[in-house]
Structure 1
């Protein structure tokens, strides 16, 4: 097979160490989500009913950490695991952002999980989260199928 026939032939491959690093960070985040109760349906439910500020404080801390991290990444010129520079490129605002945000929020309120905590819930033995994962995957496939007709 020639070089032209392989579309990803020049793309560097991730090392086993990089895969292991990603797996360990994911496992750490999953444990953190479970222990901090971010993956708890009851906590998410109380947040959406404005009964307690716990989740809002967690989200606020996460935003502050993300801001500080992005500042450090820019200043230090950090690269991704595959050697590419990490860049922040703002997404354009459009009507689809509002509709998508409302759908995302509704799914989060009903299931008690946004994408990251779904895996933490499954890992913690909350097998009903498999239905949440199936719904998230169906939503992703529906978006992919409808993308050409949606406002962007």
Structure 2
């Protein structure tokens, strides 16, 4: 394939249609994984916050370990992103906003039974009430964007 054909096959973000298909397939796989592991089930999240069962804590712990190992591999082998740029990790500074944001995030998660990823899995599995969760998440995101200059950073 010529360079011109490759350039025409990619959009302004540098991703080809094949990359989008790959991302879509990974998203569908994660959605199925969230539903089958019951991560997107309100009762599981509710029981986690009430310390009734360890199911979610075990899943979260495994996710943290996998993320740590992945970061080590990315750093060790200097893995590059899809568009060929090196992947770097820049720690975020700790401040009061982190505590406030974490509390708001946790409260939303406890009330709705979903953090951002599982919202889409819930909608995809037919839990139509999750549309309200999505609306709330979008409202929160836009509110943060509007208030960002006035918030503690």
Q: What is the TM-score of this pair, normalised by structure 2?
A: 0.91
Aligned positions of 1:1-150 closer than 5 A? 13-150=14-151
List, as ranges, runs of 4+ consecutive aligned residues in structure 1 with deviation greater than 6 Å.
Answer: none
Change (3 A) 1:16 1:94: same
Over 3 Å counting, the alpha-carbon distance change for 1:81 and 1:115 in structure 2 is same
Q: Answer with 89-98 or 79-88: which moved more.
A: 79-88
Tell me how far apart the structure 2 counterparts of residues 70 and 43 of structure 1 sit (CA, whole Å).
28
CA gap 1:12/1:47 in 2 versus in 1, 3 angstroms: closer
RMSD, matched Cα = 0.9
1:12 shift after superposition? 5.6
What is the CA–CA distance in structure 1 between the aligned matches of 2:71 and 2:152, rounded to whole Å? 29
Deviations 1:83-102 (A, max 9, x none): 21111111000000000000
After superposition, what is the alpha-carbon deviation per residue over 1:52-84, rounded to whole angstroms, capped at 9, x for unaligned?
A: 011000000000000000101111111111221
**Matched position secondary structure for 2:147:** helix
User: How many equivalent residue pairs?
Assistant: 142
Distance between the aligned counterparts of 1:134 and 1:84, measured in 2?
A: 34
Which ranges in structure 1 are unaligned for 5 or more consecutive residues?
Answer: 1-10
What's the TM-score once normalised by structure 1's chain length?
0.91
- What displacement does 1:39 show? 0.2
